[in-house]
Each structure stands twice: as structure tokens, then as C-alpha cells.
Structure 1
């Protein structure tokens, strides 16, 4: 006899917002943050802000995140004022894509 399963949308929603899923998202975000810190540029020896970008990564757990605000997520970001310039580049500075590369390498 085959087992039967009837999905409950309410139950799936509760699972996606549960402490268990949030803890796993934070664990994965911590791995991504660690990889990002490892590959982040630190600046030259005469840079007055040497290492500030590398030391400015954070993980923020969010219970109601995602596009529809219906699931647990963890955000990895950087608080350095020029963080977007390091990630995406400018006309003078090449893009490093630190968070993109970290997410591709360490999000498992």
C-alpha cells in the first residue's frame, strides 16, 4: 500500500517561518560571510581605511522575509560606505563581486 500525503499550505507556511528554517538560513549566511571576509580586498599599505570593508560584513536574520514576506531568511551585507562600489565597481575601480562570489562558493 502506498503512503498518501496531503499538503497543507498553512503548515508549509509555518515551516518556512519556523525557528528550524531560520537557524539553517543563519548558518548558511554565516558560511557566506566567512567566505566573503576571506576574499575581501583590504586596501593598500597607505590606505587610511585599510581592512574596514573586510571587517564590515554582517548577518541579519529576518523571520518574515523574501519577496512575499512569507519565509525566514538571513541577509548578508556590508556596512562600509563604499561597499556597493567594491561589489559593483565604478568607472575607476573594477568590480570585485565579493558577496556574489561568496554566495556561489559558500552557500551550502
Structure 2
């Protein structure tokens, strides 16, 4: 019986990482994370001039060439509300909500 051998093609792996299938899977995962983030996002109370704006401002982007070396398909979830940074990380007077961090832990599987 002969031993099986595998020879990896770096070019082939690169093509796989940039393929439509990998981008579609990254996009699927990002949309799951977005859904979780929307479900746990805080909505302002009576004093909020824009209640629900943060929750409605999540978005997903994807591209075939991303990552540190721009060699793989990636997808990202973000929030375009002007104050999203302070909701995620908090301030000296407002606690951090870590919405995207928590959503990634739940939905990133």
C-alpha cells in the first residue's frame, strides 16, 4: 500500500481564499453578527433625541481582497451612528455596552 501525499499549491489556496464561496460565507457570518447586534442594541429612552438610530445604523460590507495582506475574502460589521464609538467603548460617565463584541461572541460561530 502506498502512502498518500499532498502537495499544497499556494496559488490554489490563494484562489480559494478569494473565491465567491468564501466571500459568501464571510458575508453570511457577518449578517448573523449584525442580526445579533441589532437585537441587543440599546435604544434611547425619553431623553434621547434620536431613539433607535444606533440600532438602525448597523451595516455589513464585504470584499474579495481584505485582511492584513489583502489576500483573502473578508466581511465586516459596523455602525454608522455618529456616537457608535461611545456606545461600544463607553465614556467616563457612560458604561460601555460592547454591542459588537458581544454579538461577535454569540453570532460568529
Contact 1:53 1:83 in 2 (8 A): yes
Please report the TM-score for the alignment, with normalisation by the length of structure 1: 0.96
Q: 1:19-63: per-residue Cα shift (whole Å, max 9, x none)?
A: 000000000000000000000000103322000000000000111
Paired residues in the alignment total 108
Q: 1:37-90: per-residue Cα shift (whole Å, max 9, x none)?
A: 000000103322000000000000111111111100001000000001000011
Tell me the distance in 2 between the aligned counterparts of 1:4 and 1:13: 20
Q: Which ranges in structure 1 are unaligned for 5 or more consecutive residues?
A: none
Runs (4 or more) in structure 1 with deviation over 4 Å come to: none
Please report the TM-score for the alignment, with normalisation by the length of structure 2: 0.95
Structural mapping, 1:28-107, within 5 Å: 28-107=29-108
Q: Which ranges in structure 2 are unaligned for 5 or more consecutive residues?
A: none
Deviation at residue 3 of structure 1 after TM alignment:
2.5
